[in-house]
Chain A
Amino acid sequence: MKIPSPGWCLALLLTLCFTLATLLVPRAGWWNDVPRAADWNASRSQSENVFKLLFGEGRRLFANEFFIMADSYFHSGYYPSIFDKQETEKDVATPAHGQAEDSDSTSDDFLGPPPDWIAALERRFVPNQHTHLNSGGASGHVKKDEVQEILPWLKLASDMNPQMIDTYTVGSYWLRRLKMPDEARNFLFEGLRNNPGNCELLFDLGSLYLEDLHDARRARNVWLAGLRCWNALPPAAQADPPVHQAFENTSMNLATLEEDQGNWQEAIRYLEMVKQISPNPDAIQKQIDEARQKMAAQPGTTHP
């Protein structure tokens, strides 16, 4: 066998050293600093974010635009410009927020009648009807795989602004609707890595475990973690409407989960928590009374 020349051997060794260095340097930094998995995940997530490298903190400005792009795709391009009447809430996000679709949509008639012949002619060359992708989009044919066209924009928005919670909640909602629970879970995990202990994300993750992966034990654990995180928040942060809503929903879902499993005392405890913050305490009290009656009807249970 012919031995390569010393020059080639040196070049090979240098290449090997450089490759090893690129692999080991980030790990060595981690070994020396804080050897905790959360920190490792955080540093990896940041180093992987090309956009941070390119745009710095300015990338957050783009996140909103990408979220709007997702909403625009959801409407198949029929979307108000900055010169038109704007939507009060993005239609792509309303079902993810537990509201009925089109509950507050202004995009039905944002154009109004055409003011002149040029505008009238122009409207024939652009999308000119209010449609949603999940109801068939522009073609009117309901296709399962059309809604996923919004997903790249939500992913890009989350890459641009990892602290924008809506991108994770809306993205995971549509992924779940598309029967992609594993992808939805991974997206929520990504959100939690970037926003540790966020109540909204924990609520959505718990719902995913219960409804899509049928894992009640994990759902309970995640929701309980959500309640702990909410309790650890300062009062001003607790009063933030989405966070407040997430707490209410988490407590309510925990109550339902415990009811389903026959843990009436726990269920009543969670319902009492909901009652304290609910805008409709009478309805919750009615539910508590019903739960008490069911508990009393069951043999071998004790009253709280």
Chain B
Amino acid sequence: MNTIGALAGVVIKELYRRKDFYVLFVLTAVITIAAGSVRFFQDPNIVRYVKDLCLLLIWVSALLITIATAARQIPAERENRTIFPLLAKPVARGQVILGKFLGCWLASGAALAVFYLFFAVITGSREHDWPVLDYLQAFLLQWAMLGIVTAMTLLGSIVFAAPSSTVTILFVVVAGILFLGRHLNTVALHNAEPMRSIIYAIYFIIPHLELFDVRERVVNDWGLVNWLDCGLAALYAVAYTGLFLVLTWLAFRRKSLN
């Protein structure tokens, strides 16, 4: 466990040494504040469009940070040849995967927490209302989703040749799931066999990342989701994260490091 913790610590240090997070945070802050400073019809109480925009930017930024961080972990270790002394410690390959995953996930969680703090301050200053539990729930669900994305990206970094291709492919896949995932069952019904069965199979196989997207509820003040449902969603996230980590470990175990 100490080994995994030490590996995770290195990844977290890497995040705050790199500029990715700072650039994305400043961009999000500048765009949100600029949008919030626009006054429509001289009315200072209009706030939902600012919340909508800010949450969208948080989602995009969090995905960028997570995918970019996770995609370069193992390729960078191989490229710098630091993987050899690391494995000679001795550290098992499974521990490397778990350590990298934990580091990326915790780092993305820390970044996400800063984003949500900013979001709470901005919306609270406009709305004069502090639905802290709603924001905490949105944060936890998004963080659980980032766990799946981190595991998927680690798998991609083993399978694909370069970090750039991993980042591109993962972005396309994640965006595809977020935009189309929930509609694949409807699309399947409008197709004839065998396409219907194929699309339905894809619908059941893919991790439904959009399940963790409660932006519409937060923006439109729908209140808290039942915590039991959140627990089910967390179990769903754990199952998919575990699956992707096992697949990563299997792929990494057979991977030649030279």
Contact = CB atoms under 8 A, between A and B. Distances in A.
A153 B42 contact: no
Contacts of B43: 148, 151, 180, 183
A122 interface: yes
A217 to B, nearest CB: 26
Interface string A104-137: 0000000000011011011011110000000001
B183 to A, nearest CB: 4
B120 to A, nearest CB: 19
Nearest to B38: A152
A139 B217 CA distance: 11
Contacts of B46: 148-149, 151-152
Interface string B11-50: 0000000000000000000000000001011110111110
Interface stretch (B56-64, B151-159, B219-227): B219-227
Contacts of A81: 183
B149 to A, nearest CB: 17
B229 A124 contact: yes
Interface string B174-191: 000000001101110100
Contact of B41 (A84, A125, A151): A151
Interface in B106-122: none
Interface of A: 73, 76-77, 81, 83-84, 115-116, 118-119, 121-122, 124-127, 137-139, 145, 148-149, 151-153, 155, 175, 180, 183, 187
B214 interface: yes
Interface stretch (B66-74, B161-169, B205-213): B205-213
A77 to B, nearest CB: 4
Contact of B220 (A77, A153, A155): A77
A195 B50 CA distance: 30
A14 to B, nearest CB: 30
Given A83-B183, A119-B182, 14 more contacts: A76-B220, A76-B222, A84-B186, A118-B211, A121-B232, A126-B213, A126-B217, A127-B216, A138-B221, A138-B222, A145-B45, A151-B43, A152-B40, A152-B46
Interface of B: 38, 40-43, 45-49, 141, 182-183, 185-187, 189, 203-204, 208, 210-214, 216-217, 219-223, 225-226, 229, 232-233, 236
B220 A152 contact: no
A151 B40 contact: yes
Given A118-B203, A183-B41, A183-B42, A125 B185 contact: no
Nearest to B49: A152
B185 A116 contact: yes
Contact of B211 (A84, A116, A122): A122
A152 B220 CA distance: 15
A125 B233 contact: yes
Contact of A148 (B41, B183, B221, B236): B41
Contacts of B42: 183
Nearest to A128: B222
Contacts of B47: 149
Nearest to A153: B49
A187 B41 contact: yes
B208 A118 contact: yes
Given A148-B46, A152-B49, A125 B211 contact: yes
13 contacts: A73-B220, A77-B222, A84-B186, A118-B185, A118-B208, A119-B182, A125-B229, A125-B233, A138-B220, A139-B222, A155-B40, A183-B41, A183-B42
Which of B141, B208, B220, B232 has the most CB atoms of chain A within a 10 A radius of its CB? B220
Contacts of A187: 41
B222 A122 contact: no
A115 B188 CA distance: 12
| Chain A to chain B: the 6 pairs with minimum beta-carbon distance, closest first | A77-B216, A76-B220, A83-B183, A77-B220, A138-B222, A149-B48
Contacts of A83: 183, 186-187
A68 to B, nearest CB: 14
